[in-house]
Amino acid sequence: MAIHPIEFRYGTPEMKKVWDAENKLQKMLDVEAAIAEAEANLGIIPEYAAEEIKRKAKTKFVKLERVKQIEKETKHDIAALIKALAEQCEGDAGEYIHFGATSNDIIDTTNSLLFKESIKILKDKIIRLIKILLKLADENKKRVCIGRTHGQHALPTTYGMKFALWADEMHRNLERLKSAERRLCVGMVTGAVGTTAALGEDGLKVHLKVSKLLGLEPALISNQVIQRDNHAEFIMVLANIATTLDKIALEIRNLQRTEIMEVCEKFDPEKQVGSSTMPHKMNPITAERICGLARVIRSHVITALENNLLWHERDLTNSSPERIIFPEACILTDYILHLTINLIENLVFFDENIEKNLKLTNGLIMAERLMAELAKRGMGRQTAYKIVRECAIKASQERVPLIKVAGEKSEIMEYLNREELKNIMNPHTYIGSAIKIVENVLKKSREWF
């Protein structure tokens, strides 16, 4: 019986496969096999035993159902794993499984392997999203629209600026993910309190060799666990990624509001239903799902930070929450990346509304430019600000174009003629270095991948 929405509603097949119980079991078996191989190479256990352990350390032989059955009796997942693997080994090879190791050597190193697979999927999607945003930035670098601060019309900007800004932020998220991966994806076979005592003078050699066999960097120092600041950092990076996606989706939701409607997510009128009672509704459900799930991902940050607060060389309070937050954070972050890619790739523009909104204030958004031009032509800046502000207030109260009020102001027309005033009030020519800024981002992005 499916209970969690990840089981039937959220997530991509590729990321769910990483965190599937079968894959996790195989990764645990891989770690046990690597320990046996490393110890055989160092003469700690017999070569034949290591070969048999490696041969049988496959879910083809060690069945998930059997491991679960044993765990019901032992109340210990790694003890169940060891027994299930030993049952499949011929001769006395099973006696050498897990020699000198502790449970968390298996659990933490397994998690590192799962994180490594997850991060590869995440990186691929982030790069794809960045490339889509860069393409849109290039295509829309001259598409002038109104910029809003505090929810109010401010100055003209371009859609290219929006997309380039998001691409740059997603690139920073990519770099954070790569940086966190180096500290997170490490191997550990250091025993009960991190001293490798059970393996004597060969302990560190086993630790190093197992990590190498598994393609991981060895942890420099640990106690019974890889320290959880690494895991907290990873969850925080995922939360940061989710928040950027939340930001993108929130902006699209706002721009899709009926009274704005500059862009909207794709809606299939032949099949899609917006409301069970209002036939006209076409809701931004994809963007809203991104924003909603981002909250869940962010909520895991506090738990991840608290998991670093373990008693002495370690207690078990981190274990139960990690079984939830690790797969959830990875699966949901990957899923909303997938949703954002689809959202951005299929974005619909309404140029008539973009232009309408640009002119909505009857030219009030050009007040800054008018003030600046007057100052450049000899009027004091503070005086220019005062006069233009008076004009803007009058234009707003009387609901007439700013150009009309300004044209009737003798103090202003001493410095400008009618044609100059008309040119100054054109929002399409007041985007500063916006095009160049976007082009700089596009140029810099060639070094990103």
Mind telling me the catalytic residues? 150, 275
Q: What is the DSSP letter of 105?
A: H
Rounded to the nearest 5 degrees, what angle is found at the Cα of 37, between the Cα atoms of 315 and 51?
125
Kindly state the tokens that stand for 298.
């962010």
Rounded alpha-carbon distances, angstroms, from residue 198 to 8, 206, 226, 320:
45, 11, 18, 27
Residue 239: φ, ψ to 5°? -65, -35
CA distances from 411 to 145, 387, 404 (A): 31, 8, 14
Name the pairing type of β-strands 217-218 and 263-264.
unpaired
Report residue 311: phi and psi, to 5°: -70, 130
Q: Which residues pair with 156 in a beta bridge?
A: 146
Give the whole-angstrom CA distance, residue 437 versus residue 434: 5
Q: How far is 85 from 96, CA to CA, in rounded Å?
A: 11
Crossing angle (nearest 10°) for helices 229-255 and 103-139: 30
Q: Which long-range contacts (CB under 8 A, 24 or more apart) does 293-296 make?
A: 293/10, 293/242, 293/332, 293/335, 293/336, 294/242, 294/243, 294/245, 294/246, 294/249, 294/336, 295/246, 296/328, 296/332
Which whole-number Å values give the CA distances from 154 to 150, 359, 431, in the listed order? 9, 12, 12
Residue with tokens 């503070």: 382
Report d(CA 59, CA 25) in Å as an integer: 7
412 close to 391: Cβ distance less than 8 angstroms = yes
Token pair for residue 159?
A: 């859609």
Q: Which of 285, 299, 305, 302 is nearest to 333 (CA)?
A: 299
**How far, in Å, CA of 331 to CA of 108, rounded?**
19
